[in-house]
Amino acid sequence: MTQHQIQSLTLTRPDDWHLHLRDGAMLQAVLPETARDFGRAIIMPNLVPPVVTGAQAAAYRDRILAALPEGMVFEPLMTLYLTEDTDPADVAAAHASGLVKAVKLYPAGATTNSSSGVSNFDNVRPVLEKMAEIGLPLCTHGEVTDHDIDIFDREAVFIDRVLDPIRRATPGLRVVMEHITTKNAADYVASQDQDLGATITTHHLIINRNHILVGGIKPHYYCLPVAKREEHRLALRAAATSGDARYFLGTDSAPHVDAAKESGCGCAGCFTATNTMPLLAHVFEEEGKLENLEKFASQNGPAFYRLPENPDQITLVKSESATQFPAKIASDDGPVTLFDPGYPIYWSVA
């Protein structure tokens, strides 16, 4: 069977290895959008205030489970927000209890709600060493924040100035480079051992920086790290569809109400929870690699995190007519616009 004849694809239920669920009314609105298709997700801790301690992560996990609609099954995989005051013993206890699956490093000021992040990396050395010892992965928002570094170069500079030195200084530390956006990052991952993995978002496989800026500014395509040149998008496509175990799906689905996006100072984040799996089927089919979608979305992530794959499956089907996705998801805080690839998608989740 050639690829264009495949009309249905059944795969192990996918997971999302980088997700923003927020809290309160927004959590209520967006959680079903993920739980419909995904079995688990790594939950980002950048609430206001951030989820720093094991006790805060346990309370957040309870709020997520309380917001889960009756009949839906979903497991939130909790993370701790790394600060310069983080206590290594608290991290170790939260890991030992099974509650926490990763610690998240935000360079201070790098992105939405990152002001409590790390400025002086020497101050988090004891935590990183404890994590290496117990095998707890570090998830990194990989951008430097120096004002003299161009925003389009911030990921590549982070690898040289921050990430590679941290990894050399901390043998055995397992790291996920999250939402990579450059060929530099994909190449760095490929050059390293299995202690380094990377997540790739849905939207960075679809848009480049022209989509944000040509023909008028498109706030719903603005996220951090910002989409780069076309050559980088193509490198990400090659990495994601390769089947290589080090690359896996992290949507970085990051809901913001329209009023906050469509503004004189619009905030960063694309909301892709609702249509990610159909969009990925489209991308993998375009690349002639549909057979590797299950690795990227359902198998490589659990293998990196040393967790079992989900026990059940989902089926993607391709129709003659374009799938109708909602333009917006309603929340009691206001509407959230769904990421629009800009072309019709014929895949849907059965």
Q: What is the three-state SS of 262-326? A: CCCCCCCCCCCCCCHHHHHHHHHHHCCCHHHHHHHHHHHHHHHHCCCCCCCEEEEEECCCCCCCC
The catalytic position among 16, 90, 244, 252 is 252
Shortest Å distance, C-beta 307 to ligand NCD: 22
Shortest Å distance, C-beta 184 to Zn ion: 19
46 or 331, CB closer to ligand NCD?
A: 46
Nearest-angstrom CA–CA distance, 156 and 87: 30
For position 275 contacting ligand NCD by CB under 6 A, the verdict is: no
Shortest Å distance, C-beta 218 to Zn ion: 19
Q: Could you say which of ligand NCD, Zn ion, none residue 337 binds, taking C-beta under 5 to 8 angstroms by partner kind? A: none
Q: Could you say which of ligand NCD, Zn ion, none residue 224 binds, taking C-beta under 5 to 8 angstroms by partner kind? A: ligand NCD
18 or 61, CB closer to ligand NCD?
A: 18
Known catalytic residue: 90? no
Kindly report the length of the chain: 350
Shortest Å distance, C-beta 146 to ligand NCD: 17
Shortest Å distance, C-beta 46 to ligand NCD: 5
For position 112 contacting ligand NCD by CB under 6 A, the verdict is: yes
Site string for ligand NCD, 9-48 (x = CB under 6 A): -----------x-------------------------x--
Peptide bond into 171 cis (omega under 30): no
**Angle of the 24-35 helix axis to the 54-67 helix axis, nearest 10:** 70
Q: Could you say which of ligand NCD, Zn ion, none residue 111 binds, taking C-beta under 5 to 8 angstroms by partner kind? A: ligand NCD
Nearest C-alpha neighbor of 256 from the set 245, 267, 264: 267
Which residues of the chain form contacts with Zn ion (CB under 5 A)? 252
Shortest Å distance, C-beta 239 to ligand NCD: 19
42 or 316, CB closer to Zn ion?
A: 42
For position 207 contacting ligand NCD by CB under 6 A, the verdict is: no
Site string for ligand NCD, 242-271 (x = CB under 6 A): ----------x-x-------------xx--
Nearest-angstrom CA–CA distance, 323 and 346: 5
Q: Is 118 exposed, middle or buried (0-12, 13-18, 19+ CB in 10 A)?
A: buried
Structure token digits, residue 256: 């913001």
Q: Is 333 exposed, middle or buried (0-12, 13-18, 19+ CB in 10 A)?
A: middle
The secondary structure element, H or E, covering residue 237 is helix 230-241
Q: Which of 101, 141, 203, 261 binds ligand NCD (CB under 6 A)?
A: 141
75 or 252, CB closer to Zn ion?
A: 252
Q: Collapse the DSSP code of 253 into the 3-class scheme (helix H, G, I; strand E, B; otherwise coil) and give the result.
A: strand
Q: Could you say which of Zn ion, ligand NCD, none residue 104 binds, taking C-beta under 5 to 8 angstroms by partner kind? A: none
255 or 341, CB closer to Zn ion?
A: 255
Nearest C-alpha neighbor of 112 from the set 261, 332, 331: 261
Query: For 205, which DSSP code?
Result: G
> Which residues does the annotation mark as catalytic?
252
Contacts with ligand NCD, residue ranges (CB under 6 A): 20, 46, 111-113, 141, 223-224, 252, 254, 268-269
